[in-house]
Structure 1
Amino acid sequence: MSAATRKEWKEAIIEYSKELKLPAIRKYLEEYVQEACQRDACYEEFLAQLLQKECDARREASRYNRIRLAQFTHKKYLEDLSIKDLPEDAQKKLKILKTLDFLREGRNVILAGSPGTGNYAK
């Protein structure tokens, strides 16, 4: 296969990825082609890895967009929570909350407290 032909194929892939709206394929094509050539990977493995990268990028973008569209006024992280300030029963339940099992189970979590709880910084 001549170098010109390889170049033409890469250009075609770039154009197809633009038309099909596959930006991760465009971004990582050259890197994955070189890696596949070095490892003498089969075409199916190369294609699967490239498509996996596209799927991962879409999942991340989707997660980011869901958070953005939720229009949360403040972002709160479990790492920023002062555990010692929580009541004893809440400290125990926090361990369960941190596992994020409720997400896999499709369950909701309601965090409630006295009026004004959490509205000020110490």
Structure 2
Amino acid sequence: MKMELDSRMESSQKRKIKSSNFPYIKTMDELDCSRFEHLSEAFIYELASCDFVSKRQNVVMIGNPGTGKTHLSIALGVKACMQGMNVKFYTAANLSNELIEAQEYKELMKIEKQLSKIDLLVIDELSYLTFNRHQSELLFKVIADRAERRSVIVSTNLKFSDWVTMFENTTMVTALIDRLTFKSHVLNMNSDHPYRAEQSNQGSNN
């Protein structure tokens, strides 16, 4: 009976990981915590407990390209799936496009309802594109609707003071940051030793 239960749990976890839309799979075991100069290993593994999801808290990762933001975001998402949580991964551009397309086909409310039921929403690369007023408002609504209800992980290259460069609706930026940072863990991911460069070096040595 225990083996059957374990098998069912494993199948459920695999389904959750598959439906989460991760671009690839990264785990905490693959993470080199020593590369994160501003984060302790104890804190990283505290996040990996996914207690922040249970408490409906957010995680905002700020750092230059190649500092391990996406790896950590995916690893935390996989951990949440393993604990039976529903997770969805998007780049900011993909999420924005999906919302615009849903609105065009009069399915926006359906998508918003689906997203509202996700325990952990991961929004990666919130920095590579600028968003017009309409896109800004759609993204804001998704994030605002989750405030104190569900958790979000956001990764970005830009410090908060530079977010006005991303959104045409600049008056909304302060409110967006307020929603994200309330009951939030803000992580400084920058390092003198870029995570991606180190990973590449390790790969070339294998």
Task: Please report the TM-score for the alignment, with normalisation by the length of structure 2.
Answer: 0.28
Q: Which has the higher helix share?
A: 1
Task: Tell which structure's C-alpha radius of gyration is larger.
Answer: 1
Q: Which has the higher strand share?
A: 2
Task: Please report the TM-score for the alignment, with normalisation by the length of structure 1.
Answer: 0.43
